[in-house]
Structure 1
Amino acid sequence: MFGRKKETNILQERQFKSPNAYVIIFFILVLVAVLTWIVPGGQYQLDKAGRAIAGTYSGSAAKPQGLWDILMAPIIGMIGNESVSGAIAISLNIMLFGSFLEMMDQSGAIKLFLKRIAIKNQKNFHALIVILVTVMGIFGTVQGSYEEGFVYLMMFLPIVLALGLDTMVAVMIVVFGTQGGCLASIVNPFATGIASSIAGISPGNGMIMRVIIFVVFMAIISYYICRYADKVKKNPQSSPQFFRRAEDLNEFPTADNEDASMTKEQKIVLGIFCATFAIMIVSLIPWSSLNSNWTFFEDLAKWIADTPVLGTVLGKDMVPLGQWFFNEINAMLIVSTIISGYVLHYKIDKTLNILIKGAAGLVSTAFIVPLARGIQVIMNGGAITPTILHFGENTLSSLPSIAFVVVCLVFYLIMASFIPSSTGLAAATMSIMAPLAVFAGVKEEIMVDIYLMALGMAKMIMPTSIIVMTCTQAAHIGYGQWVKSNWKFMIVLFSVSAAFLIAGVLI
């Protein structure tokens, strides 16, 4: 999100127009409403968690949904009803992340941090590639870095070119790095948070596996880019961009005596940024579920509550780390944003204006969630959800678990190519796919991983990916050349993803 509103005007005339998520989801909403007039109604018996029990389907009266139901569906999707939980906590979480990231952007700490890394390691391009890919991956895995990739690219291009490499290396670092992080999305609220919520599980479920996925994919991506960089360094003419190297050096010159020093305040804000995401990771891991004897955070919360003065001042209803969800994360984001403003010596009015400005910048993203959840409202209102699940139970979910996860990965790759929005894709599909996974004997968190992997890969290569189209255009790399150079690597990533999913099923 950093600098997401800056430095993009040079691309406005040529930027690829990806499908509008609102339009796509609204048409799906209307299509689902039409289906309620065609598809028979049905019902399942439910377990204590409210999930359908396989083999208990029975028919019921049809409930066709009309225009009024279509108009009301997004509203109910936001506030919820007896059958659908409201999306307001998720939407608020998205907007408050916007506030926090806007404060980081205003501070300039993140940009200077990246610049310092690039300058410090510019003589060792292998180390530089690994470090930048990892940092980009962290940005992707914790906050879904996507549109702002263009800003990072403009910082890296001069240094990469000065090392005797080409613009393809810089674009690979940004695109593969950020989207490799998104592919794992350890705690990404815009993907893992929303998808897990719809699937009815905590974002902490499957986190350990996602950490392993993150490490493995960062290593694979770094190795791939280093190999390509070695080839270009050894023989510059092997670069598909060699024909315009002189123009690239002229357009992206390295500034002499570039100042990348950080103030004391910026260093503290950078620390707040890291601490916020560290706390988020710790708070979402279900510690006592992983080990029933490890109750440190529960004991700490109880001790605080039972301590007379401390419990009264801090509050006796504190939720222990490991049991946090959107409400607790939202409170932390507000506190982190305000503390950062205080550290930067901003007046409270300016801090609050930044908080509001950042939230406003993500209102469009936040509103996708209730709109997409309206699909679930229509399906439940028309009583067709059980019927569709029953069809899936008899077809897709009847596949062996290994075949099921691979087929679902292909399905999500296709869907992600048309709906390259993490919030929109999760909200439009997860309410159906998560129950199908249960019927197939696959855990819901594995279905969330399937969604994340497919979305990450789609955003690395598809023409509907904003980061691909803006970065390749800024670096003067034809989209066809991008695909030609990297399609084999995408097959490798798909194969590794499938291997992880199969392992997840077998474990």
Structure 2
Amino acid sequence: MEATKKKRKFKTPNTYVIVFFVLIFVAVLTWFIPGGQYQLDDAGRAMANTYTRIDSNRQGLWDIIMAPIIGMVGNEQVSGAITISLNIMLFGSFLEMMDTAGAINIALKGVAKKFQKNYYVLITVLTFIMGIFGTVQGSYEEGFVYLLMFLPIILALGLDTIVALMIVIFGTQAGCAASIVNPFSTGIASGIAGISPGEGIVFRTLIFVALLSLCSFMICTYAKKIKKDPEKSVQFYRREQDLAEFASGSDNEETLNKRQKKVFMIFVLTFAIMITSLIPWTSLNENWTIFNTLTNWINESPILGTILGNDLIPFGDWYFNEINGLLIIMTILAGVVMKYPIDKTINILIKGAASLVSTAFIVPLARGIQVIMTDGNITATVLNACEKTLGSFHPLVFVLVCFLVYGLLATFIPSSTGLAAATMSVMAPLAIFSGVSESTMVVIYNLALGLVKMFAPTSIIVMTCTQAVHVDYGTWLKTAGKYIFIFFLICCSILLLSVALLN
């Protein structure tokens, strides 16, 4: 018997455990919830007010085991998640190549030093860069790395660690809240909702500009106060310690070599192509057919059509398959530019994909929930119950209520992939019943998740970054709270606007 007993600490279950228990819970529900069905429209979506009862189909242990497998490969009723999972892993390969080349980190340091004389410009530029990382790759866990890059320059300007925290946390999570092409949130949520990630992309771009402009203004406002009177900083008591710990290496300089500059351009070009390819051009304006015309010309060309293939997809109609192909090409191209041996390039590709296998596997596991509900014939019954409650709300009320619901869920499931996979299969059809588009529901999900990750104790970026710079969690809430509340109000305004623009 041990002389002393260690006090047990509550540990939040990981996403796999949470989603698997939800899977079991849903299977149990099939034993009690009556079966039902809706009539479907030409697009295969359920139509409101067409619900009828049918026999239920109770799901057992074997069904629970098979559900994630079917969720991965799909069946006649549920589409497989394999393309989404592959997209996540290939994104890992691309990011691993960028990290190995070192181009992104060096470029960030260079930007910070270039604008250090004007702290307003510096804050705005860094905040938008963090936002770009958030909106295109879901920057989150690695936030403290960026924080440590910026701290020496921020402190040397007479500002405090809170400013650096705001730049990284507000910047990345405002970007995640917009998630223009974030494969880990918008990509997965759109795939589960049955729509292209390109739907609503223009509105999400406007959201990105609005939220990052707001965050830049709020951070500059706080920085101005600290610059004028440093003693107003809640961290003023340890300023000398912070300078000694974080600002000692501020004179170290690194510059991009020729190869790294080319890799950085590949990084920028990849996301430029991705955004361009996902925007539904002809849906925005039926006369914007330049990409269709160009693609048809290539497909019908005797030479190019033979070399490239005659089944190319025009920009505006790309989906996960085409994005996956782009990521493979750009990862290999970056390896060629860096003159890595082909074996090293392949190893980087595999290493990056392996690092996100755990994330990729969440998708089919959570898709298994949809499989259980569909095979158990309870999906329509659950939707009918929601239709009679939330579905009866006016769209303006509906989006705000869903925003609050998603905020609560995100507090307990801060994983973008887990939250989307566990909820979107129910919330997307519910949105249709309420007169709200699926793309608006994706916006609601993104905004709630981005907001919650700015302050929740379950947010990895908040807890790791505050700990790294010796800022108490309570101090962060006290200092950033009013700005986060303003962010919340702006998000609510955006959702009300989305009802008018996207529906």
**TM-score category, normalised to shorter length:** over 0.9
The counterpart of 1:395, out of the listed 389, 396, 402, is 389
- Code of the residue aligned with 2:190 in structure 1: it is S
> How far does the alpha carbon of each residue in 1:241-277 deviate from its partner, in whole angstroms, 9 at most, with x for none?
1111111111112426422211000000000000000
- Answer yes or no: is the 8 Å Cα contact 1:19–1:419 preserved in 2: no
Deviations 1:257-308 (A, max 9, x none): 4222110000000000000000000000111111111111111011111211
Equivalence for 1:468: 462
CA-based RMSD: 1.2
2:168 pairs with 1:174:
yes
Residue identity in the other structure for 1:172: M
Residues 18, 466 of structure 1: 8 Å contact kept? no
Partner of 1:100: 94
Deviation at residue 498 of structure 1 after TM alignment? 1.2
CA distance in structure 1 between the aligned counterparts of 2:249 and 2:469, rounded to whole angstroms: 18
Tell me the amino acid that sits aligned with residue 179 of structure 1.
Q
SS at match of 2:287: coil
Rounded Cα–Cα distance in structure 1 between residues aligned with 2:139 and 2:347: 23
Secondary structure, aligned partner of 1:122? coil
Map of 1:406-445 to 2, 5 A cutoff?
A: 406-445=400-439
Q: Deviation at 1:381?
A: 1.1
Q: Say yes or no: does 1:237 pair with 2:231.
A: yes
1:170-319 alignment runs, 5 A limit = 170-255=164-249, 257-319=251-313
Kindly state the Cα deviation for residue 349 of structure 1 after the two structures are TM-superposed. 0.2
1:454 partnered with 2:448: yes
Name the CA distance, whole Å, in 1 between partners of 2:208 and 2:132.
9
1:23 aligns with 2:17: yes
Mapped partners of 2:97, 2:12: distance in 1: 28
1:490 Cα deviation (Å)? Answer: 1.8
Residues 159 and 254, structure 1, Cα contact 8 Å, conserved in 2? no
How big is each residue's C-alpha offset from its partner over 1:1-31, in whole Å with a ceiling of 9 and x where there is no partner?
A: xxxxxxxxxxxxxxx9654111111111111
Secondary structure in 2 aligned to 1:59?
strand
- 1:347-384: CA deviation from partner (whole Å, max 9, x where unpaired): 00000000000000000000000011111011111111
Q: Classify 1:125/1:19 alpha carbon distance in 2 versus 1 (closer, same or farther; 3 Å).
A: farther
Contact in 2 for aligned 1:141/1:185 (Cα 8 Å): yes
Q: Which moved more, 1:405-414 or 1:250-259?
A: 250-259
Structure 1 residue 485, shift from structure 2 partner = 1.3
User: Partner amino acid for 1:166?
Assistant: D
CA distance in 2 between partners of 1:64 and 1:243 (Å): 63
Counterparts in 2 of 1:348 and 1:475: CA distance versus 1, 3 Å: same
Deviations 1:186-208, CA, capped at 9 Å, x for gaps:
01111111111111111111111
1:374 aligns with 2:373: no
How many residues are aligned here? Answer: 493
- Aligned-partner Cα distance in 2 for 1:482–1:28: 33
* Counterpart pick for 1:320 among 304, 309, 314: 314
Question: Partner of 1:145 in structure 2?
Answer: 139
CA distance in 2: counterparts of 1:306 and 1:373, whole angstroms = 39
What is the alpha-carbon distance in structure 1 between the residues aligned to residue 191 and residue 420 of structure 2?
Answer: 10
Whether contact under 8 Å (2:30, 2:373) holds in the other structure is yes
Partner of 2:56: 62
Distance 2:54 2:349 in 1: 49
CA distance in 1, matches of 2:277, 2:248: 42
CA distance in 2: counterparts of 1:340 and 1:150, whole angstroms: 26
AA in 2 matched with 1:51: R
Partner of 1:117: 111
Q: Helix, strand or coil: the match of 1:461?
A: coil
Q: Matches of 1:316 and 1:354 in 2, distance apart?
A: 31
Contact 2:136/2:271, CA 8 A, preserved across alignment: yes
TM-score by length of 2: 0.97
Q: 1:474-507 CA distances to partner (integer Å, 9 max, x unpaired)? A: 0111111111112222221111111111111123
Q: For residues 212 and 63 of structure 1, what CA distance do their matches in structure 2 show?
A: 45
Unaligned runs of 5+ in 2: 1-9
> Which is further off, 212-221 or 248-257?
248-257
SS of the aligned residue for 1:134 comes to: helix
- Check if 1:488 corresponds to 2:487: no
Which residue is equivalent to 1:405?
A: 399
Q: Percent identity?
A: 63
Unaligned runs of 5+ in 1: 1-15
Question: Equivalents in 1 of 2:309, 2:362: separation in Å?
Answer: 35
TM-score scaled by length of structure 1? 0.96
- What amino acid is aligned across from residue 394 of structure 2 in structure 1? P
Given that 1:288 and 1:295 are in contact with CA atoms closer than 8 Å, whether structure 2 keeps it comes out as: yes
Contact kept, 8 Å, 1:77 with 1:86, in 2: the verdict is yes
